[in-house]
């Protein structure tokens, strides 16, 4: 059975350890005094160490904005975001991001793309080689080390991007709709691969999606955001087996939870189309 918490109740919800703490965070695009667009309004969220947390909500609700604030790619205007490394004021080695569009260097091979991040992170040459191969193997790209992105399928390109991100060993993995550009079959395979990688690495993952089934399949917990300005409307614990394969899609608990979450998200999507807050 799923556990549903209001935003207010979630503020005081205890975790064994918080990898990410978001406290009273608001964000406005444009001038805050006049004419600006309030994207996020009073976000409070605690994400536990090793947790897989999905941000779910209608288009334009501020999911990606919140992710980029956590990553330090956008300055925090109001409120506080912190990780175990301290307050977030800029990008840091404890956080890495995977984008929807793969963001690979097209002129570099798979291995050179992975090595690039390791070199920037300051790893010694011998360790760079070892780590690069380890993570290429982990994402099942063994044999494609010398291939260029243009020679790879979309799913393989995203695997390379994930390997590059994991190789630098961030404690927190941020993912902005990383499978959104993939076809349905490849997307399902990548979801299963990501669950396996997460289970083996035990990173803290914050995953942005608008796909309800994807969120339920992947997450330990799901935050449902309101229509703009984005607020946390519900936080839902996903009480399903940790080892989830394709068979979970036929599970009655999975189907029931997906339908319930879809109704909650639909309310916000309808509000968004009507311009309601």
Mean pLDDT, residues 43-58 taken together:
95
The answer to whether the beta carbons of residues 23 and 40 sit under 8 Å apart is: no
Percent of the chain surpassing pLDDT 70: 91
**Total tally of structural domains belonging to the chain:** 1
Mean pLDDT, residues 52-68 taken together:
94
Over residues 112-151, the pLDDT tens digits come to 999 998 998 889 999 999 999 999 998 999 999 999 999 9
Query: What is the dihedral angle through the alpha carbons of 118, 52, 248, 142, rounded to the nearest 10 degrees?
Result: 0
Residue 29 lies in a domain: yes
Residue 159 lies in a domain: no
Residue 198 lies in a domain: yes
The pTM for the full model equals 0.88
Residue 200 lies in a domain: yes
Cis status of the peptide bond prior to 31, with omega within 30 of 0: no
Phi, psi dihedral angles at 80 (to 5 degrees): -135, 135
Please provide the size of the chain in residues.
277
Residue 142 lies in a domain: no
β-strands 95-98, 86-87 pairing: unpaired
Question: 197: domain CATH number?
Answer: 3.40.50.300
**Nearest Cα residue to 79 out of 124, 35, 148, 21:** 21
The residue with tokens 């935003």 is 7
Residue 60 pLDDT: 86
Rounded CA-CA distance 41/186 in Å is: 35
Residue 36 pLDDT: 80
Residue 199 predicted with pLDDT over 70: yes
Q: Hey, what are 37's tokens?
A: 């667009």
Domain with 24, as residue range(s), is 3-94+170-273
User: Measured between alpha carbons, how far is residue 144 from residues 39, 136, 157 in Å?
Assistant: 41, 9, 11
Over residues 206-260, the pLDDT tens digits come to 999 999 999 999 999 999 999 889 999 999 999 998 888 888 999 999 999 999 9
Residue 204 lies in a domain: yes
Over residues 78-114, the pLDDT tens digits come to 999 999 989 999 999 999 999 888 789 999 999 999 9
């Amino acid at each position: 059975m799923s556990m549903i918490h209001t935003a207010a109740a979630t503020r005081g919800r205890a975790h064994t350890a918080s990898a990410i703490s978001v406290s009273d965070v608001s964000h406005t695009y444009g001038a805050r005094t006049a004419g600006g667009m309030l994207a996020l309004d009073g976000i409070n969220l605690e994400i536990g160490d090793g947790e897989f947390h999905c941000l779910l909500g209608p288009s334009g609700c501020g999911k990606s904005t919140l992710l980029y604030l956590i990553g330090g790619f956008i300055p925090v205007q109001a409120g506080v975001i912190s990780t175990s490394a301290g307050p977030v004021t800029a990008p840091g080695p404890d956080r890495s991001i995977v984008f929807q569009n793969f963001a690979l260097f097209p002129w570099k091979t798979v291995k050179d793309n992975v090595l690039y991040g390791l070199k920037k992170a300051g790893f010694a040459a011998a360790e760079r080689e070892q780590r690069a191969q380890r993570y290429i193997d982990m994402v099942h790209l063994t044999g494609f080390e010398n291939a260029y992105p243009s020679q790879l399928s979309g799913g393989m390109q995203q695997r390379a991007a994930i390997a590059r991100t994991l190789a630098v060993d961030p404690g927190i993995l941020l993912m902005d709709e990383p499978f959104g550009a993939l076809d349905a079959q490849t997307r399902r395979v990548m979801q299963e691969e990501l669950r396996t990688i997460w289970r083996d690495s035990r990173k803290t993952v914050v995953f942005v999606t608008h796909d309800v089934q994807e969120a339920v399949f992947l997450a330990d917990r799901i935050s449902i955001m309101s229509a703009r300005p984005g607020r946390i409307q519900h936080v839902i614990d996903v009480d399903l087996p940790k080892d989830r394969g394709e068979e979970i899609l036929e599970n009655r608990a999975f189907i029931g939870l997906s339908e319930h979450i879809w109704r909650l998200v639909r309310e916000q999507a309808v509000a968004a189309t009507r311009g309601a807050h």
